[in-house]
Copies of this chain bind each other. A is one copy, B any other.
C-alpha cells in the first residue's frame, strides 16, 4: 500500500491516472490529466470469463507503465469503469450484467491492486461517464449534473455538489428503470414492465418501430419489408431519406426520451443534462429540448439545457481516471 506521503508526492507531481472502460465487446484505456485524455488510447477485445478479463486489464496497465518508464513519468492510479452495480469502497462487483457473464462477485479492486501495485478505483460505467462529463466541462462545483447514456439500454449518473452520487446501496442513478407508462405494456430486459429503457433505448426505438409498422405494407414504407429484423440503423436511415413512417417512429422515440428527462428534471432540477452513448448521434437536440420544456413546470423549463457529449466515447475513461485521482486527494485531506 502507498502511504499518504507517497500519494501526496505522486499528485504534487501532477501525474496522470489511467482510465479503463470495460465494455461487453472491448476494453479501452488511456491516460488522463485535468479532465482530458493525454495519451493514445489502447484497446483489446473483451476476453471471455472473469480471469481472462482481469489478465487483459493487467496487460493494458503494464503497457502504459512501460510507456511511463521509457518516457520517465509515473501513473498515479488506475480507474476502472465497468457495467454492473459496484461497491466503490471495496471495488467488488455486486450486480451481474448480461454482457459480462460470471463477472458478479469479482473483487476487482483487490485483484488488480495485488498485481500492479497502484491504487485502483472501480465504478459503474454510467457513473464514470457522468463524472467524466462533469470533469471535462468544469462542472465540479455545480449543484447537479445528470448524464443520460442512450445505447442498447439507458444508463445514467448523477454528480451532486461535485461528488458522484451512488445512493445508499450503490444502485442510485439506475435512471433507465424509472417507470414511463402504466398498464404493463412493454417488458424491459430487466424483467420489469414499462421502464424508460423499454421505450427510450435503441431496443425501445426498434420496439416502437415494430408497433407503428404492424399492418403497414412495403408499398407504404420500405421499413415494412423486414419488421421482425428492424434495426435502429434502418429507422434512422429511412427517416433521413425522407420516409414519413421512419420520421414518425423517430419522433415518437424523441417523445419517449423527453418524457424520461422531464421526470428527472422535476426530481433533480439539474444545472444541465448531458446525453451520451451510441444513440446520442440520432438525437435532434433542438426538438428534444422543445419537447422537454413543453413537459416540465415553467420554472424548471426556463433554466434547463440538454447537451450532447463532446467526449466521443471517452467519458467513461476520463471519469474513471478522475475518480481515482479525486479519491487520492480525499485521502490526503483526511
Binding site for B on A (CB under 8 A): 85, 94-95, 142-144, 156, 158, 160-161, 163, 165-182, 190, 192, 199, 255-256, 259-260, 262-264, 266-271, 295-297, 299-300, 302-303
Question: Is the CB–CB distance between A144 and B168 below 8 Å?
Answer: yes
Shortest A249–chain B CB gap in Å is 15
Question: Is the CB–CB distance between A296 and B262 below 8 Å?
Answer: no
With A144-B168, A160-B160, A165-B160 known as contacts, the answer to whether A179 contacts B268 (CB < 8 A) is no
What are the 6 tightest A-B residue pairs by CB atom distance, in nearest-first order?
Answer: A167-B269, A178-B263, A172-B269, A143-B168, A168-B271, A171-B269
CB contacts (< 8 Å) of A170 on chain B: these are 269
CB contacts (< 8 Å) of A180 on chain B: these are 179, 182
Scoring A85, A168, A255, A267 by chain B CB atoms within 10 A of each residue's CB, the highest score goes to: A267
CB contacts (< 8 Å) of A95 on chain B: these are 297, 299
Shortest A291–chain B CB gap in Å is 12
With A177-B266, A179-B262 known as contacts, the answer to whether A144 contacts B167 (CB < 8 A) is yes
With A160-B165, A177-B266, A295-B192 known as contacts, the answer to whether A171 contacts B300 (CB < 8 A) is yes
With A94-B299, A178-B178, A180-B179 known as contacts, the answer to whether A268 contacts B192 (CB < 8 A) is no
Cβ contact of A190, chosen from B143, B166, B178, B297, cutoff 8 A? B297
Q: CA separation between A192 and B294, bound complex, in Å?
A: 8
Q: CA separation between A144 and B269, bound complex, in Å?
A: 16
CB contacts (< 8 Å) of A171 on chain B: these are 266, 269, 297, 299-300
CB contacts (< 8 Å) of A161 on chain B: these are 163
Shortest A305–chain B CB gap in Å is 11
Question: Is the CB–CB distance between B168 and A296 below 8 Å?
Answer: no
Instruction: Pull 18 A–B residue pairs with CB atoms less than 8 Å apart, ordered by A.
Output: A95-B299, A142-B168, A158-B267, A160-B160, A168-B271, A169-B299, A169-B302, A174-B300, A175-B267, A176-B266, A178-B266, A179-B259, A179-B260, A179-B262, A182-B255, A190-B297, A192-B296, A267-B267
